[in-house]
Structure formats: C-alpha cells, structure tokens
Amino acid sequence: MPEAIATVELTSLLVMGAGLYHLGFAVFHLFFARLFRWETQLAKLHPVNRGVMQAMNVFLTVALALFAYLLLRYPELLLTEQTGRMLLFGIGLTWFVRAAIHPKLFGLRHPGSVLVNVLCVVAVGLCWIPLAIS
C-alpha cells in the first residue's frame, strides 16, 4: 500500500509540474511581441497574416494558461477519471505534434531551436509519464 501512495503522490507532482511548465510557457508567450520584435517584423507581412500571427499567439497564451490551471487545480481528477486522463493525454498530444513538426518548420541547426524542441518533448513526458505509471 505505501508504494501505491508514493505512486499517486509522484504522479500528482508530475502533473502539477506540468501545470507550472504550462504557466511558464503562457508567460513566455506574453512577451513574444517584444522578444521577436513584432512591431517591425510583422509590419512586413500582409495585414491578414499579421493579424493571424497575433490572434494565434493570444489564443495559444489563453490555452496554455487554461492547461496550467487545470493541471495545477485538478491533478488527481486528471489521473483518476476517464475524462481527465483523456484530457491529460490530449494536452500531451498537442506537445507531441508540436515537437514532431518543429524540425520541418524551424530546423534543428540552431541550439535555440534544439532547446525549444527538447522543451516540447519534456512537456509530452510531463503529461504522459503520469498516465503510464498510474
């Protein structure tokens, strides 16, 4: 029985770690405009493409913040209820797809690009490892 309790605690901690991870990514996305000099860089784009970039970033920031909230607030539910497990799997799947398309979109020659792809794979693990061991 103590092993089962330890597993529950570990999986809950991993899910909550995933929540903090997502919160960090949400905050990171809040700074995209400044980090990537969108004022000058996006000005080069057609207004529709510029709007799409900005809208997608806002949407993604909200989604990441929502994921963070769910992961931090409901770790046990995400691990024990069928709907919760499916949601946790789905969050991991979004990162899996992101990691899979990264090399084609950004390449892996620059260390920063490799780092971002590794961070995506870590996010997959933070979501899927608790599912595998619970």
Cβ(107)–Cβ(113) under 8 Å? yes
**pTM for this structure?**
0.90
Band of residue 134 on the pLDDT scale cut at 50, 70, 90 = confident
Positive or negative, the Cα torsion across 22, 26, 31, 35? Answer: positive
How remote is the C-alpha of 68 from its chain's centroid? 9
Q: Which domain holds residue 31?
A: 2-133
Residue 74 φ/ψ, nearest 5 degrees? -130, 45
Number of separate domains in the chain: 1
> What span, in angstroms and rounded, lies between the C-alpha atoms of 11 and 74?
12
User: Looking at this protein, which amino acid is placed at residue 42?
Assistant: L
pLDDT digits 0-9 by tens, 14-72: 999 999 999 999 999 999 999 999 999 999 999 999 999 999 999 999 999 999 999 99
